[in-house]
Amino acid sequence: MKKGLRRWLWLGLGAIVLGLIITNLARSPEWRDFRWDRFWVSLTQARPGLLLLALLAVYATYGVRAIRWRCFLDPIKHASLWVLFVGQVLGFSSIYLVGRPGEFVRPAYIAKKEDVPMSAMVAVWLLERVFDAICLVFLFAAALYFEPLGSSTERGAAVVGAMHHFGNAMFLVTALAVAGLIVFRLRAEKATAGCVRVLRFLPPRPLHHLEHFLHSFGEGLGVIQNLWDFLESAAWTVVLWVLNITIFWLVFQSLGGGLEHVRWLAAGLVMFCAALGLVVQFPGIGGGYQVGTILALTEIFNVAPEAATGAGILIWIVMSMPCLVLGLLLLIHEGLTYKGLKAITEEERALVEPAHD
């Protein structure tokens, strides 16, 4: 299946999922009485000082990401922190504009600027995903077990109960995944060869892609050469997600309308639900991210629909607009356009695409 067709297929499925969720919400009693005047009041009366702190925290996350990527890249090359920072901003602004196809902008831009093999950058990108996923799961588990959750509705109580079961399952899966990663890190070549051998019944093309992915993943894990490398990377990952939770919490505190009672750790739980919504994203407008935020606030924390909707929209603006504005300024500074950035990405990506028979 061609990439363009596959992308439109996923967007179509995502639209159906979002449509079903929104339809279900519209039929519930609390959403049938939605008050637009309250919604606008919740937005217009937001406290600007707290929103400014949230914006500064957003910019700080890109600095932390740049430092973490330098930790990952140190065994390969001592990269420029400025180049890494610019790469993070341009990469995420591309994602906000075009969706998931923009994911490769970060590794491609940095590979071009630092003259590092694109395969190494893809490996670093994969390693970043592993660290982020593990940290998110642990924060989710902490929010479930240390934050008192309750709901005044039967449906909300059922959601909280389901999340506890989901959290237990995810914690177990993550623990097993960490153990598997340690084994894979120590025996990457043998593990790759073993996976290819076991799955040799697959058609040649998917098998070739799998082998290529495992080699890149093994290369990414290879940059963690000792305990200090791991602890340093893990520490910056924790700092990053503490900042992300703080952004959510500051937005909630700025709005009021019951949101000011959502505590910091509870804001982490809302952030996790929003992150799950990232699976369904539409270029330029988001989608699942806002829905995940709104559902968490209304179903778990009993926030009024108007305030929850305002929070979902405002968080998306706070997270995306600073990145887009700074991304545009950096493009001008670098003498690039998004079209030129796309050309760099395609050029670098072609260097690591596995050959087909």
Per domain, the residue ranges of the chain are 36-352
If you average pLDDT over each of 69-83, 210-224, 334-348, which comes out highest?
69-83
Q: Which is nearest to 323 in space by CA: 52, 92, 84, 63?
A: 92
pLDDT at 205 over 90: no
Strand, coil or helix: what is 281?
strand
Cβ partners under 8 Å of residue 5, min gap 6: none
Share of the chain above pLDDT 90, in %: 15
- pLDDT for 10 equals 47
Distances (CA, A) of 246 to 75, 236, 241, 315, 338: 32, 15, 8, 11, 30
- pLDDT for 89 equals 94
Mean pLDDT of the chain: 77
Q: What is the pTM of this model?
A: 0.76
